[in-house]
Amino acid sequence: MVKFFNRGKKDVAPAPAEPTAPKSDREKILEARRRERAERKEKREQRNKKLSQSKSAEAKKKKSSQPQLTREERDARDSKLGCCYHFSKFLAGAMHFVDFVLGILSLTYGAVIYLGFENPATVVAVACMTYGSVLVLTSCMGVFGFSYKCCKRCGLLWSIYVAPLIITYYFFLIIYFLADGEAFFSYLEEYKEVMYLDDARLAEFTSMMPVVYSVLAGLAVAEMVRFCIVRDVRERLLRFDSASARIASSQTESTRSNLTEPLIGGFSEVESDEA
């Protein structure tokens, strides 16, 4: 049967394999370079892996070698406010005082030019009163946060969150004066009598614009510094408040236990006598 089905087929010899062309010198050089790059990459990966493993091992060793403080030791450490805290508090208080003075001046100027004339410079008056109100409120909330610990020092939290808005306002003024200063000075020229300005003061103000830019940039930097300082001081005060509360509660419990021990001893003696 196999011969019957394969009777019409002829034995076909397999086609000879085509001889591979010999590689040229350029291909050999490129292949050697690829091989060298692969070897260098593998060695670099192994070296980086060993380095990361050694760093992690050193970090774990350093962490394990550090003494672990107990809760009582941490509370004793956090319940003490050092000289760094007092210096930071002084800087924050000084910046809040500067903001308070600037806010009062801005509020007063805006109220005077808005209420003292029938046709006031409304834009400048509203901007001054808004800016002054924010500064005064921020300063008062900062003092409140330093003085009282209610609501996790919410006054300091207000002072922290308002600082980026004030910084944005300063940079907005700088960009506005640089981009459209002519419109601003034309507005001042139109309302110079309402704003208590004359030609000499207006010319002097125009010539002092670089100083104005520098002052605004300095105030923005001061607000950035205040933001960082008040944030760190608040975290330090929160740790101080929690540690002080735990120490006070532990002292109260120890006092109660000292008071109840003699009473328990007296009751036991009376019971023994009755028996």
Give pLDDT tens digits for 109-131.
999 999 888 888 889 999 999 99
Question: Structure pTM?
Answer: 0.66
Cβ 104 vs Cβ 132: under 8 Å: yes
Question: What distance in Å separates the CA atoms of residue 89 and residue 22, rounded to the nearest whole number?
Answer: 81
How many CA atoms does the CB half-sphere of 41 hold within 13 Å? 6
Tokens 């790059």 sit on residue: 37
The Cα-based distances of 37 to 41, 43, 70, 209 in angstroms read 6, 10, 53, 60
187-132-96 Cα angle (round to 5): 140
Q: Give the per-residue SS3 of the chain.
A: CHHHHCCCCCCCCCCCCCCCCCCCHHHHHHHHHHHHHHHHHHHHHHHHHHHHHHHHHHHHHHHHHCCCCCHHHHHHHHCCCCHHHHHHHHHHHHHHHHHHHHHHHHHHHHHHHHHCCCCCCHHHHHHHHHHHHHHHHHHHHHHHHHHCCCCCCHHHHHHHHHHHHHHHHHHHHHHHHHHCHHHHHHHHHHCCCCCCCCHHHHHHHHHCHHHHHHHHHHHHHHHHHHHHHHHHHHHHHHHHHHHHHHHHHHHHHHHHHHHHHHHHHHHHHHHHHHC
What would the pLDDT profile of 127-160 be if each residue is shown by its tens digit? Answer: 999 999 999 999 999 999 988 888 888 899 999 9
Q: What is the pLDDT of residue 2?
A: 46
Per-residue model confidence as pLDDT tens digits over 56-105: 777 777 666 556 667 676 766 767 787 888 898 999 999 999 999 999 99
The 10s digit of each residue's pLDDT in 175-232 is 999 998 888 889 888 888 888 888 888 888 889 999 999 999 999 999 999 999 999 9
pLDDT category at 48 given cuts 50, 70, 90 is confident
Sequence spans of domains, the chain: 76-243
Backbone phi and psi for residue 214, each to the nearest 5 degrees, phi listed first: -65, -40
**Residue of 91, 94, 97, 85 whose CA lies nearest to 140:** 97
CB 120 within 8 Å of CB 113: yes
Angle at 246 between CA 243 and CA 248, to 5 degrees: 110
d(CA 182, CA 203): 13
Q: In angstroms, rounded to a whole number, what is the distance separating the alpha carbons of residues 99 and 93?
A: 10
